[in-house]
Structure 1
Amino acid sequence: MAKTSIVKVLEHCKISPPPSPNFNITLPLTFFDIPWLFFSPTQPLFFYDYHFSTSHFLSTTLPTLKQSLSLTLLHFFPFAGNLLLPSDTNEKPRIVCTEFDFVSLTIAESDGDFTHLTGNHPRDINDFHSLVPELHTGSVSANETTLLLPLFAVKVTVFAKSGLCIGLAYHHVVADGRTFNNFVKTWASFCKDSCFFMNSSPSYDRYVILDRNGLEDVFLKEWFKRKKMVIGSETEKDSPEMARVTFVLSLNDMEKVKKWIIGQCRKKNWPQPVHLSPYVLTCAFLWVCLLKSLIQEDGKTTRKFHAEDPSYFGFNAGGINRLDYQVPTSYFGNCIGFGRSMARVGELLGEDGIIVAANSLGNTIKMLDRAMFEGAEKWISDWEVLLGSDLHVMVCGSPKVDLYKTDFGWGRPKKIEEISIEKTKAISLSESRDFEGGIEVGLALPKLQMDSFSFVFNQGSSKETGIS
């Protein structure tokens, strides 16, 4: 492992959008937004090669970063706003935007090993915490006063003559991955080209989201029933021994898994899974790998399990293309649903575990395509089940969101890491930086389990068949 790095804070500042009369508005939360009140913020880190000194960054690059961020907030102003959390159950949570809003920006310098941090090999999770911006944590209950909490923060760390890290923290209640991608790409475009012209501005019309199933009332009752929510970065200053590793599945890897599934189905006269997309193949493979790594060590079973125990796989499902009414792609906010697949542990660990996983995932996606809101009243409680057991798996992110095309003027990111998976034990998925059509997989696990996962993953992806 690399030596412990020293991070020195150089500046704290507030970045406000240029004055505009549009800022004094309130945005109500839709039923798509409310479930995210129960989640900690997303914390992506964007690493870039940057072979200049710290003084060059401060005098030349930083002013452009600040100016372009301010200009971007003019169009995406809710990122500078605040979440209002009333204690009164007669009031609904909402996003408030005023002319006094700002985004907290921290500038720092690190003597850490940039090459080590941006590799795919095992790295201590604590090495990344100093790169994450602080976003105030708070909770509200029936006995507390109303809280007003920021939704977004930025921290830029310079690795002199090596690289830059742009660390972001934003609460999912303000935006889904599609909206965030539009925001960060716009910021990068303004930074790279001062003459950049936006083709279309974000749409803030909340009335385009139709609540035909009464889900807003259902979700608000869930929130008030618990009388508590937590918002904040919640990054531990010193976490238990966990490793962060990146795995990459190429199109060739996925094709091998697909051919094996098709061959097994033909051999056993089984129907093929309804979906064998790269996403389904990757998730099915990871589901089995993660479950095996949990109960095995060096290929031997070390943990007892019951074959009939359920294992759930949770993922987000884009809503814009699944709704039976039109929502503009420029819509600002959340427009995603939730999918939860189930399979028995014994079946997943059997010789046809990947087929079982692919069938379960494919059937869930087929159901979401047909009726996205079937069982939606249980979205919040379903997430709680996933968070409550190691037998369950969650994924965040999407390989369809091309974050590796985010160019601030220094080229594509060298690496992107999602820090929040440490808390949720989720798997992060993104498009591969280096392999066309490939998928990058990020995990943060206890070191012994990570060793086991690496063994199972590498064994499965190197074979012409599924995992053995």
Structure 2
Amino acid sequence: MAPTPPHLVTVLEQFHVAPTPAPAVGQPRALPLTFFDLVFWSIPPVQRLFFYDNADLLDVSDFTLGELARFRNSLAAALHHFYPLAGKLTCEAEVVFSDGDSVPLTVAFSDDDFRDLAGDHARDTTRLRALPKHGGSRPQQGVLAVQITVFPRAGICIGTTVHHAVADGASYTHFLSTWVAAQDVPPLFDRGVVRDDAGLREAFPRDNRTLGKAGGDERLDCWDLSRRPGAVLVTFRFTERQLRALGRRVESETSARCSPNALACGAAWAGRGSGMDGGTAPDAHFGFVTGCKPRASPPIPANYFGNCLGLCRVHAKRWELTAAAASAAIWRAIEGLAEAGSVFRGSRGWVHWVREYASARAVTVAGSPKLGVYAAADFGRAWGRPRKVEIASGERTGALALAESGRDGDGGI
């Protein structure tokens, strides 16, 4: 792919948005990370980009004099409920909020081609790196950062960066829907709802330290595509009709009656099974996460804020990795989760699994169509639904980013 000429992204203003009003006096100011959170302690922050059309936006002043105040006020109001996002992630594995803490908000301008950036075709990932405000993956840093980039006569891009050790996709979309629509379902911060009979809260920090000293963080770099020249981001759309046809084919070849998610992931895994490591290893690896709130005993409330994901692994011989075989293998792993407690059986090894899969350059998944990010990011009459949502941090983890098929809600992926 020919090098893309550089495009200018200029920072215009920087603000600090504090929860407004401040959280109530009785709200906990320090939230200890659970073992679910600590699995993602060393994973790069999750960076999402939301592209909104607005051809009437003639220049940056149209936004700063019009929409910016409403944008800041709605963010501050959402942070009143989700105030830990304005706090700090500490070395003691806690999220701590102190009076005066805030979320950095950057307003920028870009002369890049908005519609091209928000397209489905191959785009140079370097063009997307300046759109979210970058954050490191180390502690003692802010949890959330927001950037809004104005593309005159085209639209805007909202970029968010959030530490994965603080919130999973469900908690993030809960915050997002509160931000854009002022929903009134408050988050639950009570860590007592997460049972830890196996003592993983104490074991996982030791694993992170031990593996880090043994080169574990370097193994995580194996996933980092930003270290390779010519990395591009491409979107593939599976329509509902295509998924039904693929499902019939998979069933005829394997007898497995797969879910749409398993079909889309299987096709993508087969397509990328030899791409991450050059196809030299005999085995291909696929990793995904599953929601554990209903699978915990007792179940964890749906509005619980934090990570609540279990890690799942699938292996296949590389020469057998067709779309049908890959889909069937993923579906059988999903079916196995129906047995009570099955997702937790290998939980003691979750921190190790992350490094092992990074070393093997396994194909993994970020996001899910079930999160409904397009609906959660609907700003109503102001901007509507985004024309495109991207997980830009997939460049760092090499992950497939899954979502529902956009604004049309046609049942695809």
- 2:116 aligned residue: 116
CA deviation map 1:42-96 (0-9, x unaligned): 00000001222321210110001111111110000010010111xxxxxx41111
Of 190, 193, 201 in structure 2, the residue corresponding to residue 208 of structure 1 is: 193
Is the Cα–Cα contact under 8 Å of residues 13 and 105 in structure 1 kept in the other structure?
A: yes
Give the drift of 1:135.
Answer: 1.8
Matched, 1:365 2:334: yes
Distance in 2 of aligned mates of 1:134 and 1:292: 30
Q: Which residue of 1 aligns with 2:87?
A: 81
Tell me if 1:71 matches 2:65.
Answer: no
SS state at 1:33 partner: helix
CA deviation profile, 1:227-273 (whole Å, cap 9, x unmatched) = 5798xxxx9999621111111011111111111122234xxxxxx22
The 8 Å contact of residues 24 and 99 in structure 1, kept in 2 or not, is answered as: no
Shift in alpha-carbon separation, 1:93–1:13, aligned structure 2, 3 A: same
Q: Deviation of residue 37 (structure 1)?
A: 0.5
Name the counterpart of 1:442: none
Call closer, same or farther: CA 1:261–1:45 in 2, change over 3 Å: same
Taking structure 2 as the reference length, the TM-score comes to 0.90
Residue aligning to 2:13: 11
2:240 partner letter: L
Deviation at 1:292, TM superposition (A): 5.1
Partner of 2:353: 382
Structure 1 match to 2:268 = 286
Distance 1:73 1:183 in 2: 8
Q: Select which of 203, 228, 232 maps to 1:243.
A: 232
Equivalent residue, structure 2, for 1:356: 325
After TM superposition, give the deviation of residue 293 of structure 1 in Å.
5.2
Out of 390, 396, 416, the position equivalent to 2:389 is: 416
Give the Cα separation in 2 of the matches to 1:136 and 1:425. Answer: 17
> Which AA in structure 2 matches 1:65?
F
Q: 1:287 to 1:23 in 2, by over 3 A?
A: same
Question: How far apart are 1:332 and its partner, in Å?
Answer: 0.7
- In the TM superposition, 1:6-155 aligns within 5 A as 6-18=8-20, 19-20=22-23, 21-22=25-26, 25-50=29-54, 51-52=56-57, 53-85=59-91, 92-136=92-136, 138=138, 148-155=140-147
Which of 381, 397, 407 aligns to 2:378? It is 407
Once the two structures are superposed, residues 263-298 of structure 1 have per-residue CA deviations (whole angstroms, 9 ceiling, x without a partner) of: 234xxxxxx22x510011111111111125569xxx
Is this contact kept in 1: 2:274–2:318, CA < 8 A?
Answer: no
Paired residues of 1:131 and 1:155 also in contact (CA < 8 A): yes
Give the residue type in structure 2 aligned to 1:438. G
Equivalent residues of 1:23, 1:98 under 8 A apart: no
Q: Is the 8 A contact 1:23 1:99 kept in 2?
A: no
Larger radius of gyration: 1
For residues 422 and 237 of structure 1, what CA distance do their matches in structure 2 show?
6
After the TM superposition, which parts of structure 1 deviate over 3 Å for at least 4 consecutive aligned residues?
226-230, 235-239, 292-295, 303-306
- TM-score using structure 1 length: 0.79
Secondary structure of 1:45's partner?
Answer: strand
Deviations 1:380-423 (A, max 9, x none): 11121211134x21111101111111112211101111111111
- Mapped contact 2:74–2:179 kept (Cα < 8 A): yes
Give the secondary structure class of the aligned counterpart of 2:233: strand
Q: Which amino acid aligns with 2:166?
A: V
Query: 1:165-200 CA distances to partner (integer Å, 9 max, x unpaired)?
Result: 00010001111100000101111114xxxxxxx332
CA contact (8 A) 1:125 1:239 kept: no
Helix, strand or coil at the partner of 2:171: helix
Distance 1:38 1:17 in 2: 27
Contact 2:145 2:161 in 1 (8 A): yes
Q: Tell me the distance in 1 between the aligned counterparts of 2:100 and 2:112.
A: 36
Conserved 8 A contact 2:293-2:299 = yes
Distance 1:24 1:339, change over 3 A: closer
Residues 99-121 of structure 1: CA deviation (Å, up to 9, x unaligned): 12100111011111111111111
Contact 1:48 1:164 in 2 (8 A): yes
Residue identity opposite 1:129 in structure 2: R
1:258 counterpart SS class: helix
Q: Which runs of 5+ in 1 are unaligned?
A: 86-91, 139-146, 191-197, 266-271, 296-302, 440-468
The root-mean-square deviation of aligned C-alpha atoms, in Å, is 2.3
Query: Does 1:258 pair with 2:247?
Result: yes
Cα distance in structure 2, aligned partners of 1:312 and 1:356: 13
Q: Which residue of 2 aligns with 1:161?
A: 153
Provide the residue aligned with 2:221 in structure 1: none
The aligned runs of 1:331-342 (5 Å cut-off) are 331-342=304-315
Contact kept? 1:248, 1:432, Cα under 8 Å: yes
CA contact (8 A) 2:225 2:395 kept: no
Shift of the 30–292 alpha-carbon distance from structure 1 to 2, 3 Å rule, reads closer
Structure 1 contact 132–155 (Cα < 8 Å) conserved: yes
Aligned-pair distance for 1:160?
Answer: 1.0
Aligned residues: 394
How far the C-alpha of 1:149 sits from its partner, in A, is: 1.3
Between the aligned partners of 1:166 and 1:242, the Cα distance in structure 2 is 22
CA drift of 1:29 comes to: 0.8
